Amino acid sequence: MAGDVTIETERLVLREFRRDDRESVHKYAVDPEVYHYMPWGPNSEDETSAFVERAIASRHRDPRLHFELAITLRETGRLIGGSGIRAAEESFRTADMGYCLRRDAWGKGLATEAAAGLIGFGFEQLRVHRIWATCDTRNVRSARVLEKAGMELEGTMRDDTWLRGQWRSSRLYSIIESESSQGKAPGQAGSGETRDRASSWGAPRKESRP
């Protein structure tokens, strides 16, 4: 299913990337604190441009399974990060998600709000049954975000990713649709205002998977 997507939360609008977002994306894509646990970065300008172009192109896939969305502030429209949710083959009814924020936006609960918005979109619009996410075992902030968004820790995947010359281990989190409808995912109310059903994380990835 192709189509533009907008996810609105209390303070955020997650929207499709545009070509004029390139500069804002590049600012966080070269920040070592932002890309430290990510599979991309530091990005060259070409890599950031290629990311934005891929995100734009993904809108035209049908069925659309991959939703790479800019995180913007509802009040000012400022782009503060990227997020994404990617459904597996439609019949599998699972999706994975991720997010990153520029550093000056950290510590205000915004990533948790974005994560809750993605979860709402995944269950209500993509109609998936299970949503999962991983984070580096050292990435305590992201682990906290996933917990606050209502996800449950399934375990640790030991040395699952080769990143910048070393193996990293990841924590695996998930949430099941029944847990979401029981209100396990806080902040989800008002999160699923989408213009279309759709189906990546505002992250200028060099690789196709985090």
Distance CA 43, CA 29 (A): 6
Q: Give the one residue of 5, 21, 37, 82 binding ligand COA; rule: CB under 6 A.
A: 37
Closest CB to ligand COA among residues 65, 203 = 203
The distance from CA 101 to its chain's CA centroid, rounded to whole angstroms, is: 10
| By the rule CB under 6 A, 185 interacts with ligand COA | no
User: What is the DSSP secondary structure assignment for residue 38, as one 8-state letter?
Assistant: S
Positive or negative, the Cα torsion across 21, 28, 166, 149? negative
Among the residue ranges 4-12, 100-108, 119-127, 177-185, the one whose residues contact ligand COA (CB under 6 A): 100-108
Q: Which two tokens stand for residue 101?
A: 């924020």
| By the rule CB under 6 A, 74 interacts with ligand COA | no
| By the rule CB under 6 A, 34 interacts with ligand COA | yes
Task: Reduce the DSSP state of residue 122 to 3 states and report it.
Answer: helix
CB of 10 to ligand COA, least distance (A): 13
Binding site for ligand COA (CB under 6 A): 34, 37-38, 98-101, 106-112, 135, 139-142, 144-145, 148
